Amino acid sequence: MFSLEAQKAFITGAMVMIADLKDASSAAQEIGAEFVYVDVSSEQSVKDAMAAGHAVHP
């Protein structure tokens, strides 16, 4: 199974949105990102998270 656990990325010029089931709003705020709740076991939750991302960063 593919996993990004314990991986690192160096990205410049990106607008970042953190999406997770657990509240990561403080981490998002710390790095100037947005946070949205998402339950990846729910297709509607994923669609809502994607819509939220497009609304914040059109």
pTM for this structure? 0.69
Do residues 39 and 22 make contact, with C-beta atoms less than 8 angstroms apart?
no
What's the pLDDT tens digit per position in 8-29? 877 788 888 999 999 999 999 9
CA distance linking residue 4 with residue 54, whole number of Å = 23
With respect to residue 2, please indicate whether it lies within any of the assigned structural domains: no
CA distances from 13 to 2, 10, 39, 47, 55 (A): 26, 10, 27, 25, 18
Q: Which range of residues forms the domain containing residue 26?
A: 17-56
With respect to residue 12, please indicate whether it lies within any of the assigned structural domains: no
Burial class (CB in 10 A: 0-12, 13-18, 19+), 8: exposed
**Residue 51: what pLDDT?**
94
With respect to residue 44, please indicate whether it lies within any of the assigned structural domains: yes
For the chain, what is the domain count? 1
Mean pLDDT of the chain, nearest integer: 88
